[in-house]
């Protein structure tokens, strides 16, 4: 590998770590303070009177952070949403594509399986902060959640030969 390429990769890896080295925003911080600390969000969603700022680290990433701003523009909460506990809050036949998007942010991939009569959204995550997993959120034709299926993330699995 060439020396300039090694230097470029090293600089990129340091830039990626810079996000994790900063202290997180605190409840009560203004929108401007949140943006100054975290940068521009990957998406913005309306959620009732609140605004959700999505900070997704994908498509290979296993973390998506959501910053919830109240109607006053102040931070109410900041959390990593791709967790087993958060997926457990999904309500079958009640949640839909909009609520899933506002809760978990953009999926890693959108696909369609012959066995599912609707779209399937895939989310990479670190199950129990240990296992490389993929959560499949299955929707019917009306966009309502029909099932959640958890399994290993095949692209991150170590294969033994």
Q: Is 15 within the bounds of a domain?
A: no
Q: Is 62 within the bounds of a domain?
A: yes
Cα(45)–Cα(81) distance, integer angstroms:
14
Both tokens of 56, joined, read 């997704």
Q: Write down the pLDDT at residue 133.
A: 96
Q: Is 35 within the bounds of a domain?
A: yes
Number of Cβ atoms within 10 Å of the Cβ of 25: 21
Structural domains in the chain (count): 1
Give the CA count within 13 Å in the CB-facing half-sphere of 148.
19
Q: Is 142 within the bounds of a domain?
A: yes
Which residues are within 8 A (CB) of 154 and not within 5 positions of it... i.e. 6 or more apart? 134
Q: Is 41 within the bounds of a domain?
A: yes
Q: What digits encode the pLDDT tens for the residues 22-77?
A: 789 999 999 999 999 999 999 999 999 999 999 999 778 899 999 999 999 999 99
Q: Is 1 within the bounds of a domain?
A: no
pTM, 2 dp = 0.82
Give the CA count within 13 Å in the CB-facing half-sphere of 156.
16
Q: Is 58 within the bounds of a domain?
A: yes
Q: Write down the pLDDT at residue 104.
A: 97
Query: Under the phi-then-psi rule, with left for phi > 0, alpha for psi from -120 to 50, and beta for the rest, what region is 111?
Result: beta
Q: Phi first, then psi: what are they for 40, rounded to 5°?
A: -70, 135
Q: Is 19 within the bounds of a domain?
A: no
User: Residue 21 pLDDT more than 90?
Assistant: no
Q: Write down the pLDDT at residue 11.
A: 44
The range of the structural domain enclosing residue 32 comes to: 24-152
Percent of the chain residues topping a pLDDT of 70: 84
Each as own residue / partner, the long-range contacts of residues 23-30 (CB below 8 Å, 24 or more positions apart, any chain) are 24/78, 25/67, 25/75, 25/78, 26/75, 27/74, 27/75, 27/76, 27/77, 27/78, 28/74, 28/75, 29/74, 29/75, 30/73, 30/74, 30/75
Q: Tell me the average pLDDT across 130-147.
A: 96
Burial of 119 (0-12, 13-18, 19+ CB in 10 A): middle
């Amino acid at each position: 590998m060439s020396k300039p390429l090694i230097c470029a990769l090293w600089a990129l890896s340091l830039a990626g770590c810079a996000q994790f080295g900063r202290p997180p925003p605190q409840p009560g911080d203004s929108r401007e303070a949140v943006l100054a600390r975290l940068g521009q969000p990957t998406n913005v969603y309306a959620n009732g009177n609140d605004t959700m700022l999505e900070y997704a680290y994908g498509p290979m990433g296993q973390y998506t952070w959501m910053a919830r701003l109240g109607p006053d523009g102040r931070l109410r909460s900041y959390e990593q949403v791709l967790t087993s506990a958060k997926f457990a809050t999904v309500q079958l036949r009640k949640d839909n594509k909009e609520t899933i998007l506002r809760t978990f942010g953009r999926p890693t991939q959108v696909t369609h399986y012959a066995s599912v009569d609707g779209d399937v959204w895939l989310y990479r995550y670190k199950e129990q902060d240990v296992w490389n997993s993929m959560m499949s959120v299955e929707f019917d034709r009306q966009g309502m959640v029909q099932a959640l299926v958890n399994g290993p993330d095949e692209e991150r699995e170590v294969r033994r030969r």
